[in-house]
Structure 1
Amino acid sequence: MGSMIVPMEPIHHVDGNGDPPPPSSEPDSTRPRRRRPKFPNMAAVPLVKKVTAEFLGTFILMFIQVSSIIMDEQHHGVVGLMGIAVSVGLAVMVLVFSIIHISGCHLNPAVSIAMGVFGHLPPAHLVPYIVAQVLGSTAASFAGKAIYHPVNPGITTIPSVGTVEAFAVEFIITFILLFVIIAVATDPHAVKKLIAVAVGATVVMNILIAG
């Protein structure tokens, strides 16, 4: 009937032999390209919220670290160095997943300074970040002292190496940590979804080699 609408069939081009042409090896420009996830944009987050996230994140990290060391000492080494390293590494990984979109999850003055040098932290935010991190770690230490009173000697600093050796070890593990963080944060081709795993694993390795 004249009023019926017949769906149009797709037109297939053929060559001189009646065969369809081979598929083109060129990419389809009409197909949307998958973009790599970028580092979270924190420009719209208020500074107060960023500083609060750094304070809470540093508090949680330091409290877990102090508590795991105390538990290892109180239970006669049942946790062990591996257990302490894994607990701290997992804490870092969870915190990165939780607050990286808010403050960047630095949790360390060295990280904040490095991010500022590479232009990923405004200069006006550097001092508030460091103050929040210092206050968070101090509060975590007092919380551990209050909860596990009297304080177990397992969390005291007892030098077992010389000053030069201690400085060298701290320099190396800090360089490794900052190298991983800066590489993932500044390289546009890095897999941003794995930054938490990369940083957490780096912390585990650093604790295993430096204690």
Structure 2
Amino acid sequence: MADSLSVNFDSSIKSEFSTEQAHKTTHEAKHSPSNIQKAIAEVVGTYILIFAGCGAALVNEKLPLTIVGIAMVSGLGLTVATYSVGHVSGGHFNPAVTIALAAVRKVQFKLVPIYVLCQMMGATLAPLTLKVLYHDKADIGVTVTKYLSSTSDLEAIVWEFITTSILMLTIRGVATDHRGSKDLTGVAIGISVLINVIIAGPITGASMNPARSLGPAIVSGDYKNIWVYIISPILGAVSASTLYKFLEVNKPVKPEPCHCNICNHNHLPF
């Protein structure tokens, strides 16, 4: 008799928990952004990022900002994009980031082509806008990421690999890890870009983003060494994202309140 009551009691708890979890999942689904909203956010966010970075490069031709000024604009541009629409799509704005997060199953694979396409749209529209607005006042070609003639292909690959790895580790630490400070996500990621641009900008342009390089290349028609800026950031981001898996810990499971009307205890999920 006691065993039967225990079985019924356990079944009741499991049933209550399953129902509550189902309601919670349904509630989250109703209030989550749609794929269309995520796609639009990626276009807008990438546009802001590239508009800021390329705009700074154009201004530097007329009014010297120095590498520090360009780095600050680039970092702040990413910070603005992250806080404005990052909560809608996750704030990737970078094909390398999207692919790297998908590689560790932080992003659904079906979203990868959608995100990459939207990022390319934003990255192409931004320099195109600048080209139209600047007319002949500046050469849009200065927005294309290139490395010095004294820099070999291998050295350029290493530079882009390292800088993108630093960016990706920052993203994984503050944005995808439950232990990270979410309030400072945009600031931390923006600072990582600022540091990378100051150090690597004079050598390779510190792209860290295939869209950042491809967009201006499409608008200007200059595709020299573009393969370096596509392959290296992706390799760097995937490597850093995979490395961070060894630093992660599982999020602790919070006890669910009991709704069985029998006791006042909290029950852990079954």
Cα deviations by residue, 1:93-112 (Å, 9 ceiling, x for unpaired): 11111112100110000111
Larger Rg belongs to: 1
| Alignment equivalent of 2:93, drawn from 99, 107, 114 | 107
1:171 aligns with 2:161: yes
Structure 1 residues 129 and 71, CA, compared in 2 at 3 Å: closer, same or farther? same
Conserved in 1, the CA contact under 8 Å of 2:102 and 2:112?
Answer: yes
Quote the offset at 1:116 in angstroms: 1.3
1:206 aligns with 2:189: no
* Alignment map for 1:28-107 (pairs within 5 Å): 44-75=32-63, 77=64, 79-107=65-93
Cα deviations by residue, 1:40-81 (Å, 9 ceiling, x for unpaired): x89821000000000011111111111111111112x2x111
Cα deviations by residue, 1:120-175 (Å, 9 ceiling, x for unpaired): 21111111000000111011121111112224253345541221111110000011
**Residue segments in structure 1 that go unaligned for 5+ positions in a row:** 1-40
Indicate the residue corresponding to 1:154 in structure 2. 142
Aligned partners of 1:58, 1:117: CA distance in 2, in Å? 21
Quote the offset at 1:87 in angstroms: 0.8
Higher-RCO chain (CA-CA 8 Å, sequence separation at least 6): 1
Structure 1 residues 156 and 115, CA, compared in 2 at 3 Å: closer, same or farther? closer
1:196 aligns with 2:182: no
Counterpart amino acid of 1:70?
L
Aligned partners of 2:177, 2:125: CA distance in 1, in Å? 34
**Residue segments in structure 2 that go unaligned for 5+ positions in a row:** 1-27, 202-270
Indicate the residue corresponding to 1:130 in structure 2. 116
Counterpart amino acid of 1:138?
T
Task: Spell out structure 1 runs of 4+ moving beyond 4 A.
Answer: none
RMSD of aligned Cα (Å) = 1.7
Conserved in 1, the CA contact under 8 Å of 2:45 and 2:86?
Answer: no
Identity rate, percent: 34
Structure 1 residues 146 and 176, CA, compared in 2 at 3 Å: closer, same or farther? same
SS in 2 for 1:98: helix
Aligned partners of 1:195, 1:95: CA distance in 2, in Å? 11
TM-score calculated relative to the size of structure 2: 0.59
Counterpart amino acid of 2:193?
V
TM-score calculated relative to the size of structure 1: 0.75
Aligned partners of 1:107, 1:68: CA distance in 2, in Å? 18
Quote the offset at 1:178 in angstroms: 0.5
Aligned partners of 2:103, 2:145: CA distance in 1, in Å? 31
Conserved in 1, the CA contact under 8 Å of 2:37 and 2:88?
Answer: yes
1:143 aligns with 2:129: yes
SS in 1 for 2:89: coil
Indicate the residue corresponding to 1:117 in structure 2. 103
Aligned partners of 1:134, 1:52: CA distance in 2, in Å? 12
